[in-house]
């Protein structure tokens, strides 16, 4: 009997120590510390550092603070009149390894009314504007209409002390003044809307809590019609309900924290996309778009010369849209306002061209042609002098005698001499009036073969 009693006592004592040991293992008190400083790194003295278990401490002259006897998950919120803080609060878990480097940055909002030493919760707005103070209240529920308790409600990022929702999800804050931005916060949730802004009493400042467990991630790629990634494409979600993302250099993108049914679109200047939108409602890593570049007007140009690289003027350059241009004295031509692929075809009576035509686009916008007489005439040279030209550079036109088509041209040197080596067939040579010159003697001349004395006298 005595042995049985001893066994019972030993079992009771063992159970006691086992439970005590578990308590020490899972609920051991811990301490936390950190600093409150301004944007320059200087410490902020006498700021209240408040803990969700109801305790608080004051920062020292260097902005440092330390709190002992903490237990479980704790929300830490700094407060000081005239300041907002980043972050506005800090969630500390029993299991967090780093509990001694918790930094808050204070930003002055220009409304400091003095020391907070008698107000550990921060300025509640009741000192200076008591007659204008108002209240706000509301309810926090999830998307199923269920109450969410222990949600921290912030006011102007810490300008006023925060409150927490009760078991039924309700909350209320009195003594507010000015325009107030209200924000709900609880670990494991996001809230819709993200913030509310008010400046008069309102009892329907409600938020919907969305569990992050229901969030999903989508990703994809944006490529052109050749499969090349398109960077800096903006990916939007439900027309801005969620923040947008941009594609990287390879056209890749990813978005987390989505929930519910989401419509995804791609946007980039001068592009359209296929498909226009993609709906999702769960994780998907193949939300891909094809970018189609919108056709932009471009300019194409070129030159027509013979086999000796002598320019051929008056060639008609035709485009398959029905338009055309004419080469100038130097054989040059240019066409603006083209889009897409265009076929360019040169044309001049009794001439043939190589190549016969050229297809151009925005990336290939130069089209040069070589020309030769269609009946394969032999070229010959004409040369001469324009006497009394007064130093003027006189333009010499050489036109085909049969139809007055310009087939060659030349410009006199300062001494009046000129030469053209690309003449063929029977031609009429005519110097062109310029400057103070009134005419020429003879007015023009006719040739069918080489000649070195094609001379004219300028008349004034």
Say yes or no: 248 and 268 in one domain. yes
Distance CA 238, CA 416 (A): 77
| pLDDT score, position 127 | 43
Say yes or no: 208 and 219 in one domain. no
**Residue 375 resides in a domain:** no
pLDDT beyond 80 at 21 = no
Q: Of 180, 197, 212, which closes a domain?
A: 212
Say yes or no: 220 and 287 in one domain. yes
Q: Identify each DSSP E strand in 93-215 by its residue range.
A: 102-108, 134-142, 152-155, 160-164, 170-176, 180-185, 189-192, 196-198, 207-211
Distance CA 379, CA 374 (A): 12
Say yes or no: 303 and 316 in one domain. yes
**Residue 13 resides in a domain:** no
Kindly report, residue by residue over 389-409, the tens digit of the pLDDT. 777 789 999 998 888 888 888
Taking residues 211-237, report their average pLDDT: 91
Say yes or no: 414 and 443 in one domain. yes
Say yes or no: 287 and 304 in one domain. no
| pLDDT score, position 260 | 80
pLDDT band at 23 (very low <50, low <70, confident <90, very high): very low
**Residue 178 resides in a domain:** yes
Taking residues 16-29, report their average pLDDT: 49
Top mean-pLDDT range of 177-191, 278-292, 373-387, 411-425: 278-292
| pLDDT score, position 120 | 42
More confident residue, 423 or 20: 423
Say yes or no: 78 and 143 in one domain. no
Q: What is the CATH number of the domain that holds 316?
A: 2.60.40.1120
Residues 6+ apart with CB under 8 A from 263: 237, 238, 239, 277, 278, 279
Residues 6+ apart with CB under 8 A from 191: 140, 183, 184, 185, 207, 208, 209, 210
Tell me how many domains the chain contains.
5
Distance CA 372, CA 315 (A): 12
Here the tokens at position 213 are 């467990």
The torsion defined by the Cα of 357, 361, 365 and 371, in degrees rounded to 10, comes to 0
Taking residues 277-288, report their average pLDDT: 94
Say yes or no: 221 and 241 in one domain. yes
The torsion defined by the Cα of 106, 110, 113 and 119, in degrees rounded to 10, comes to -30
What share of the chain in percent tops pLDDT 90? 48
**Residue 43 resides in a domain:** yes
Say yes or no: 349 and 280 in one domain. no
| pLDDT score, position 303 | 96
More confident residue, 2 or 375: 375
Q: Which of 1-5, 165-169, 315-319, 427-431 has the lowest mean pLDDT?
A: 1-5
pLDDT beyond 60 at 2 = no
H or E segment at 4? helix 2-26
Domain that holds residue 338: 298-366
Say yes or no: 317 and 339 in one domain. yes
pLDDT band at 177 (very low <50, low <70, confident <90, very high): very high
Taking residues 69-83, report their average pLDDT: 86
| pLDDT score, position 273 | 96
Kindly report, residue by residue over 91-128, the tens digit of the pLDDT. 887 777 767 889 989 887 654 444 444 444 444 443 44
Distance CA 443, CA 460 (A): 13
| pLDDT score, position 8 | 45
**Residue 415 resides in a domain:** yes
Say yes or no: 361 and 394 in one domain. no
pLDDT beyond 50 at 19 = no
More confident residue, 35 or 111: 35
| pLDDT score, position 376 | 59
Say yes or no: 275 and 220 in one domain. yes
More confident residue, 426 or 386: 386
| pLDDT score, position 278 | 96
Q: Of 165, 196, 212, which closes a domain?
A: 212
Taking residues 179-187, report their average pLDDT: 92
pLDDT beyond 90 at 143 = no
**Residue 22 resides in a domain:** no
Distance CA 327, CA 332 (A): 5
Mean pLDDT of the chain: 85
| pLDDT score, position 109 | 67
**Residue 4 resides in a domain:** no
**Residue 10 resides in a domain:** no
| pLDDT score, position 406 | 85
């Amino acid at each position: 009997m005595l042995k049985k009693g001893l066994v019972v006592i030993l079992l009771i004592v063992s159970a006691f120590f086992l439970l005590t040991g578990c308590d020490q293992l899972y609920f051991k008190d811990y301490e936390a510390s950190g600093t409150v400083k301004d944007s320059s790194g200087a410490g902020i003295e006498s700021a209240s550092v408040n803990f969700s278990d109801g305790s608080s401490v004051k920062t020292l002259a260097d902005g440092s603070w330390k709190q002992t006897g903490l237990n479980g998950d704790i929300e830490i919120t700094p407060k000081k009149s005239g300041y907002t803080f980043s972050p506005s609060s800090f969630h500390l878990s029993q299991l967090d390894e780093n509990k001694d480097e918790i930094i808050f940055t204070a930003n002055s909002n220009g409304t400091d009314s003095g020391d907070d030493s008698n107000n550990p919760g921060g300025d509640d707005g009741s000192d200076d504007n008591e007659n204008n103070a108002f209240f706000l209240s509301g309810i926090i529920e999830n998307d199923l209409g269920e109450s969410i308790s222990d949600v921290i409600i912030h006011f102007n990022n810490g300008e006023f002390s925060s409150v927490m929702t009760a078991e039924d999800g309700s909350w209320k804050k009195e003594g507010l003044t000015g325009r107030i931005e209200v924000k709900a916060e609880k670990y494991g949730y996001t809230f819709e809307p993200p913030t509310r802004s008010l400046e008069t009493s309102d009892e329907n400042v409600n938020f919907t809590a969305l569990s992050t467990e229901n969030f999903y991630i989508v990703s994809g790629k944006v490529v052109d019609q050749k499969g090349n990634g398109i960077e800096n494409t903006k990916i939007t979600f439900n027309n801005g309900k969620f923040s947008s993302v941009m594609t990287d250099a390879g056209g890749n993108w990813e978005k987390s924290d989505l929930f519910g049914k989401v419509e995804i679109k791609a946007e980039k200047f001068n592009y359209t996309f296929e498909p226009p939108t993609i709906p999702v409602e769960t994780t998907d890593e193949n939300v891909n778009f094809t970018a189609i570049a919108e056709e932009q007007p471009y300019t194409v140009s070129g030159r027509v010369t013979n086999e000796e690289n002598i320019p051929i003027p008056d060639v008609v350059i035709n485009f398959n849209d029905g338009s055309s241009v004419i080469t100038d004295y130097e054989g040059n031509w240019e066409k603006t306002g083209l889009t897409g692929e265009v076929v360019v075809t040169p044309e001049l009576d009794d001439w043939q061209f190589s190549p016969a035509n050229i297809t151009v686009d925005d990336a290939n916008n130069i089209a040069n042609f070589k020309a030769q007489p269609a009946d394969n005439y032999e070229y010959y040279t004409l040369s001469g002098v324009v006497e009394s030209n007064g130093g003027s550079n006189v333009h010499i036109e050489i036109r085909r005698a049969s139809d007055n088509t310009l087939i060659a041209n030349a410009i006199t040197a300062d001494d009046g001499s000129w030469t053209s080596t690309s003449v063929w067939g029977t031609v009429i040579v005519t110097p062109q009036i310029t400057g103070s010159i009134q005419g020429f003697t003879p007015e023009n001349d006719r040739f069918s073969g080489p000649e070195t004395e094609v001379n004219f006298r300028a008349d004034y």
